[in-house]
Structure 1
Amino acid sequence: MPLHIQTPLLESLALSRAAGTQVWLKLEALQPPGSFKLRGVGLACEHHRQRGAMRFVSSSGGNAGLAVAHAGRSLSVPVVVVVPQTTSARAIELLREADAEVIVHGSSWVEANALAQSMVEASDAFIHPFDDPLLWQGHASMIDEVAAAGLRPDAVVLSVGGGGLMSGVIEGLQRAGWDEVPVLAVETHGAASLQAAMAAGKPVAIEAITSIATSLGAKQVCDQAFALSQRHPVRPVQVSDAAAVRACRRFLDDHRLLVEPACGAALAVVYDALPALADFKRVLVIVCGGATATAEQLARWSAELPG
């Protein structure tokens, strides 16, 4: 049995009305640690455990680390997660509650990741948060489930950080024979590393992450995400932090499910009926989740952000 669960796929009347098109939701926020990350991380951890790994080491500001911690508990393997100083107290608390050893280091994920990789010993396995073929293979299973349910979308809307989710979804689309189904790759202003790469014609590092959607805070997307953007129909979309937070609050009212702004970015495209949706009659939204957001945070962001 895999470590992840098969998540619900449901039509959202609220989002369908808002967008003027049929909207289906893949509710990855309901995975045990709160996000889609468990699909790929679970597969990677099982793979390395079978090959004798005695400890999992990872770097993450939240969701990937929580997935590694969950997998470690399930497989009885100790876990160390290195997080940057920008990581919220809530995320650190959740990691420790899941029995992970947490090390806070560096001003960004890049620095935390460098330390994590330097800690890996011969009997350890390093679990990357987004750049690993095992992760993409695992994440692709959500599209396997959509295909098995008989739903063929005209487009898939998802949020992009480091590009692991997008890489997995496109692998799943290709596995289903849906190579022509476009992906609307959504980023917030201040975390748009995929759009920067597509504009430059190669992966490039953006100067800084200024978005509150810290789960999208990879300064540079993985090479695989960029490569796929060149051979699969990928349409980059940007939304504001305010729009992402507003979408989170509306989604909480409509579906009684709390997600973080990184997930709200994808939902904002639908709630705000952006022109990017105009060509599609049936849209699938990956509700990627995020366990570290709280209702109190959403209320505070709503009060602080313009618009």
Structure 2
Amino acid sequence: MAIHMTTPTVASDAFSTADQRVWLKLEALQPCGSFKLRGIGHACEVHAGRGAKRLLSSSGGNAGMAVAYAGKRLGLPVVVVVPETTREWPKTLIRRQGAEVIVHGTSWMEANEHLMSLRQPTDAFIHPFDDPLLWDGHASMIEEAATQMPRPDAVVLSVGGGGLMSGVLQGMHAVGWQDVPLVAAETIGADSLNASIAAGELVTLEGITSIATSLGARRVSERAFAWTKQHAVVATTVSDAEAVQACLTVAKEHRLIVEPACGAAVAAALKRSVPVLQHARHVLVILCGGACATYEDLQAWAG
């Protein structure tokens, strides 16, 4: 039995118009709060089957939570190293699953280096986004959606490191949606995919200035960028304020709390500024979730 759960795909009356039906894949309902559990749960199961005795993560966000959740279900100890900038709430959620949380360094890179220094031969390191095992797991959400809704005219999702994007596109090709355009949304200040497409090559951002820290990969994975050469991918950006407002709208209309990283996709879908969204009859939005932000956080960001 898979560690992740099957999630519903629901038609949003609030977000739809007379000419367009907006569908939400409710990945925010995963037990640890985000889509990450699909790919990470799958990867953890594979590594456990290969004999791993301990699971390691260097994410203080949703990936770390997913590894902790999966490890508990598999009966394996989990160590998560986070930088000093990680807030208390995510650390609390990770510890709640029985994982050991170590705080080290001022950045993810320093935390990751420390984690690697602890790695033993029987440990499995679970990457937050750049691993084919993750993409295999994430693809399952599209296999589900294909049985839950009409064939979409566009799919909208948020992009950070590109793990969700790579898995969703893999799933879209598996179910025959290879000609359905993908709208890839980022917040301004965390838009490494948008910058890479504009430059025609992978670009590493100097830093992340967006509050959507879950999108805070300074460079997307090579696989995600390669997909832009193989599939119709339309990159778009929204402001932090638009992403936060979208989160508050989701909370009001659908009684779900999601992070600004997730709100970016909702904001892009509701703006409909991308041409492929202006004429689409059915639009699928991946409500990827995220458990690092509380409702109080959203209210504070909104001012």
TM range (shorter): over 0.9
TM-score, normalisation: structure 2: 0.96
Q: Which runs of 4+ in 1 moved over 3 A?
A: none
Q: How far off its partner does 1:278 sit? A: 1.1
Is the Cα contact below 8 Å between 1:25 and 1:286 reproduced in 2? yes
Deviation at 1:177, TM superposition (A): 1.6
| SS of residue matched to 1:15 | coil
Show the counterpart of 2:104: 105
Any gaps of 5 or more consecutive residues in structure 1?
A: none
Question: What is the 5 A alignment of 1:166-245?
Answer: 166-245=165-244
Deviations 1:34-56 (A, max 9, x none): 00000000100000001110000
- 1:83·1:105 contact (CA, 8 Å) conserved in 2? yes
Shift of residue 142 of structure 1?
Answer: 0.2
What's the % identity of the aligned pairs?
A: 59
Q: Are 1:20 and 1:273, in contact at CA under 8 Å, matched by a contact in 2? A: no
Deviation at 1:150, TM superposition (A): 4.8
Deviations 1:117-167 (A, max 9, x none): 332210100000000000000000000001123531111100000000000
Q: Deviations over 1:282-301 (max 9, x none)?
A: 10000000112111111110
How many residues matched?
302
Q: Distance in 1 between matches of 2:19 and 2:114?
A: 47
Match of 2:11 in 1: 11
Q: Which residue of 1 aligns with 2:37?
A: 38
Of 233-242 and 111-120, the range deviating more from structure 2: 111-120
Structure 1 residue 207 displacement after superposition: 0.4
Query: Could you list the per-position Cα deviations for residues 169-226 of structure 1 after superposition, in whole angstroms to 9, with x for gaps in the alignment?
Result: 0000010121111110000000001111112222221000000001001111011000
Give unmatched runs, 5+ long, in structure 2. none
Q: Which amino acid aligns with 1:298?
A: L
The equivalent of 1:286 in structure 2 is 286
Aligned to 1:296: 296
For 1:188, the aligned partner's letter is: T
CA distance in 2, matches of 1:12, 1:106: 43
Q: Which amino acid aligns with 2:10?
A: L
Summarize the Cα distance change of 1:296–1:175 in structure 2 as closer, same or farther, 3 Å threshold: same
Quick one: which amino acid aligns to residue 124 of structure 1?
A: D
Q: Alignment RMSD, CA only?
A: 1.3
| Counterpart Cα distance in 2 of 1:229 and 1:61 | 29
TM-score, normalised to structure 1's length? 0.95
> What is the SS of the residue equivalent to 2:15?
helix
C-alpha contact (below 8 Å) 2:8/2:148 kept by paired residues:
no
Residue type of the alignment partner of 1:9: T
